[in-house]
A and B are shown apart, each in its own frame.
Chain A
């Protein structure tokens, strides 16, 4: 394979290219944090002048993270990763599955960690004893007996060599997840006034309608506040109706706790006060109660009772139009009509010659829902998990190997015992482990230091 490799292959397999791409990605990413993204063209003309704005548009700077050149950089990066992996993985795989009992005795003599001992006896019997001691020390050995000598081998975490590739693969998995999300998912938005339902949401940016295939009804929206007036919780009660599956259910959502149905997720995202009110009137004489939803500034009758009422004025507390107080006009046809100010969401008791009533008013809100379908998100999360596991393995685990080679010494009745080992990482820790193994063998009276 080596001599057929083209220059292009070498180029895409090189880590130099990876360093270059990483640094280019890092520097170009800065642009989008300095120049506001996703604004209308006029914004850039105003802020940077027409000439610069034109260059910006040409280079897609206003949406740089989805521009052709940024995507091209990401493709280069992925390509680099894939080629580099194909280039190296076979060798690494060889290392993982290697039969280390085949190791040439000459190579054993050159291992970074070595110790030579001596013992009397024949090689196979000594190998038996040494093997037992190795196992006791946590190195369960495989062995092979030859006329020339006996070789024992044991290793730990051979598979940890694949950690790096798990990390690299995880990056590609995350990209795949992102692409699945872009291709098959959507990001959308919808405003649903209380008491109303929708079966359509609107794509972010383009506002293209997207049919849901089921309906979402907003039963209620509520903001609660802390004592200092800052918002504590935005809450919507939603009812989902799905005629095909005959399913209807109601669920409360808040920020950070969305609703998911059929792969589509609804996030509490904003709200809008509407020009309308929920009114509830109770006739205290017979405890009859009636609920109304009324617009602002209209006279509304309660049929069959002679009662008429309306909201004739309001005070808002924010530019959005949250109502703080409303002015109510109320008459049951007896005596003078009552006119009074009432806090939003408060109750007032009205007395007239004919009886007394409890009057409650609450402004109507619309809940703003972010709607997302992202079938790629679990792929992305799987990639993230793999990345963390891979990083841990790549950084903190090492492939450690030890051999014990027992051979007849020429012209004596002794055997020579070579203990040797190597670790692909974290040599200092391995040195200690190796010393412990040697110690364990020399501790047995069979083996003596050379």
Chain B
């Protein structure tokens, strides 16, 4: 077994997990509940071992670095972070329907990592600028934050779906979703969690830049977009706790915020140019 086989299995396992949760939601197939959870836990473990093995393989190749250094590896870690975050939510709220709106993101991230031809997947030696422990701290903190924002976006859709359908008629499908108030509360907590990690991500990135180039902030497009994302979520949080926004508006903002995350992560690498162009390699 090598890491790419394991990560290939991970992709399909997350697909299966997402399908199971969606089935639980759409067909009210509650019998599948335990199976869905076990599949997710299994997929998460395979994902973990896959990352660990890739790490080991990089040492065997005489390169030796934590597998968090390019587009492919960060997508794999993104999926990993979404899965663990979701499992935490499921455990805390004892609700599997959240999975139908969270696990598809883990699958999409792995699928994009596995099937895209935009970037290389092989273990490549690190250029000198990337040889830093701050880089590892930077990637981990950012992606834990991004994972929370992905889930918040999914829950935002969930909220809007429930809200719209509740107004039309109380469809039985929609009735199985958690109460609007509960979704709203989970979105808020998820955003708060993500914001703390995004802040840590921006800070560790600044420290890394300072140790490599002597400038903690240089307004390159990636930095600027991460700050834009931070502004969007800061505004969202303030709108909530000082102006009492909630419900639909926060649901929309959690979706808009995630678009900003996607642009920071993907758009800047492939549509704009800058210091972080390593992602395109």
Contact = CB atoms under 8 A, between A and B. Distances in A.
Contacts, number: 106
Nearest to A256: B132
Interface size class of A (residues with CB under 8 A): 35 or more
A267 B203 contact: no
Contacts of B27: none
B137 to A, nearest CB: 12
B226 to A, nearest CB: 10
A68 interface: no
A371 interface: yes
Contact of A265 (B129, B214, B217, B228): B214
B26 interface: no
Contacts of B118: none
A230 B200 CA distance: 31
B94 interface: no
Contact of B127 (A230, A265, A377, A391): A230
A32 B224 contact: yes
A262 interface: no
Interface in B211-248: 211-217, 219, 221, 224-225, 227-228, 231-232, 234-235, 238-239, 242-243
B29 interface: no
A26 interface: yes
A58 B228 CA distance: 24
Contact of A228 (B125, B192, B199): B125
A267 B216 contact: no
B131 interface: yes
A37 B219 contact: yes
Interface size class of B (residues with CB under 8 A): 35 or more
Nearest to A388: B200
Interface in A1-35: 15-16, 18-19, 22-23, 25-26, 29-30, 32-34
Interface string A388-400: 1001100100000
Interface of A: 15-16, 18-19, 22-23, 25-26, 29-30, 32-34, 37, 65, 178, 187, 226-228, 230-234, 254-258, 265, 267-269, 370-372, 374, 377, 380-381, 384, 387-388, 391-392, 395
Interface of B: 62-63, 124-125, 127-129, 131-132, 134, 192-193, 195-196, 199-200, 203, 206-207, 210-217, 219, 221, 224-225, 227-228, 231-232, 234-235, 238-239, 242-243, 268, 272
Given A256-B212, A387-B203, 19 more contacts: A15-B238, A22-B235, A22-B238, A23-B235, A25-B231, A26-B235, A32-B221, A33-B221, A178-B217, A226-B63, A231-B127, A233-B128, A234-B128, A370-B213, A377-B210, A380-B216, A384-B206, A384-B207, A387-B199
